[in-house]
Amino acid sequence: MTNLETYRKNARLWLDSVAPRFGRDARMGLSVEDDLALGRQYMAERYDAGYAGVNWPVEFGGQGLTHIEKVAFDTEEMAFGMPTGYFGISLGMPVPILMRYGLGPDDEHRDWVKERVIKALRGEEIWCQLFSEPAAGSDLAGLRTRAEPEGNGWKMNGQKVWTSWAQYSDYGVIVARTDQTVAKHKGLTYYWIDMKAPGVEVRPIKLAGGDSHVNEVFFDDVRLEDSQRMGPVGGGFGVAMTTLMIERYVATDSGGFGPHLDLFVDLMRELEINGRPALRDGRVRSAIARNHAMRAGLESITTRAMLMMQAGMEPGPEGSLNKLVSVRSRQKLSELAIDLAGNGGFQFDPHAPQKQDWVSSWINAPTGRIAGGADEMLLNTIAEKILGLPQDHRPDKGVPFNQIPA
């Protein structure tokens, strides 16, 4: 047995031991607040067991292992439905960026950062990522939230939207425009922000599926010290790109984080089409075969990426294929399951898990197709980075931001 196989086995044994208290069944019927409290308990126990910050430096409370062990643990954990969703953004991007760009020049500030990192790993503090804006769409460089010099710091005004878990966050990372006279990519600066600071207002947004994990956030003359700046003035776009890439080695799911294909087969065993078992219908069998082939192909891409990581290499942009294809196919398969269920397909439980319930999977799939990069952005990445096609025409390229029509 290889070291990785041993690591997986031990992780699975620990997850099995705590699943009765923290897993999917234990969470059934809990309110968001109670589920978050359970999640904080789980994160603390995961930290104490040595499975937090798997690939982070030991100095910051991590385990000092590699990306491959992190992916292995994440993949095992995902099967148990643990209450980790509240902390995924926090530990996936803002906190790693804080470790890289926010350490500061003195030991006192470094100790403050260490405290933030360990509290985040234990689930005691949550960080959010404040990027998207109403007027910018998927164009990160088109941000209009402003940070203007004020004394030895900055004054921020503007709005962000679709910020996951902002209502429970203690801190956040944010990109703001500090110079409107240069090209849009060059006038941005990156900061961390106290989400409890005066002038910060969080308003939850209710999604079609019934939950409110995303928010719009308003900033009204919010004071930022210059020590909260991460990276150089005007260098925020580069730090933002690092944010989006730093945690690219995450556990993937060829099912688009929807129900497993076996659950579709189980449903078809219970249904009839024109008086015959649904599993004998050629269209149903074709849908099962297509989805099986697609998921096997995506899992092959993931397997290759893991082997590249084991060899010390960095996988390419092929991960864009996984998200684009898997969530799209999840939406189509969920729709088919609902249609074939007939009247039973009308039943909707807003608390049903998306990985177990076809209606919940279908109604929440559009959110999945937007989050983490909309389909159109992924198609551009595939076209330019994988197929080598020329870039789209960009009429605002190199134009000072204040000359771009609003």
The string of DSSP letters for 145-173 reads -EEEEETTEEEEEEEEES-TTGGG-SEEE
User: Are 121 and 133 members of one domain?
Assistant: no
Neighbours of 206 (CB within 10 A): 9
* Whether residues 294 and 356 fall in one domain: yes
Please identify, among 192, 217, 246, the residue that sits at the C-terminal boundary of a domain.
246
Query: Within a domain: residue 176?
Result: yes
User: Which one of 72, 95, 125 terminates a domain?
Assistant: 125
Flag whether 394 is in a domain.
Answer: no
Q: Report the pLDDT value the prediction gives residue 246, as an integer from 0 to 100.
A: 55
Is 136 among the domain residues?
yes
Domain boundary among the residues 76, 102, 125 is at 125
What pLDDT, in 10s, does the model give residues 226-260? 999 999 999 999 998 877 765 444 556 788 888 98
What's the pTM value of the predicted model, to 2 decimals? 0.87
We report the CATH number of the domain holding residue 232 as 2.40.110.10
Where are the extended beta strands (E) located within 135-236?
146-150, 153-161, 171-177, 188-194, 200-205, 214-225
Residues spanned by the domain of 230: 128-246
| Domain co-membership, 211 together with 265 | no
Domain contains 34: yes
Show the tokens assigned to 160.
Answer: 């962000």
Residue 391, domain member (yes or no): no
Walking along the chain (406 residues) 10 residues at a time, the average pLDDT comes out as 89 98 93 96 98 94 90 88 93 92 81 96 97 84 95 97 96 97 96 98 91 94 96 94 62 78 93 93 95 90 75 72 88 95 85 86 87 81 89 87 87
Residues 113 and 178 in one domain: no
34 and 92 together in one domain:
yes
Number of domains into which the chain is organized: 3
Query: pLDDT tens digit string along 68-81?
Result: 888 889 889 988 98
Q: Give the CATH number of the domain where residue 77 resides.
A: 1.10.540.10
Joined together, the tokens standing for residue 173 give 């990372």
In a domain, 203, yes or no: yes
**Which residue's structure tokens are 């449903």?**
267
374: Cβ contacts below 8 Å, ≥ 6 apart: 138
Candidates 188, 205, 173; CA nearest to 139 is: 188
Instruction: Note the maximum CA span of the chain.
Output: 77
> Facing residues of 127 across strands?
171
Find residue 153's DSSP bridge partners. Answer: 150, 225
Summarize the chain as % helix, strand, coil (round to 5). Answer: 50, 15, 35
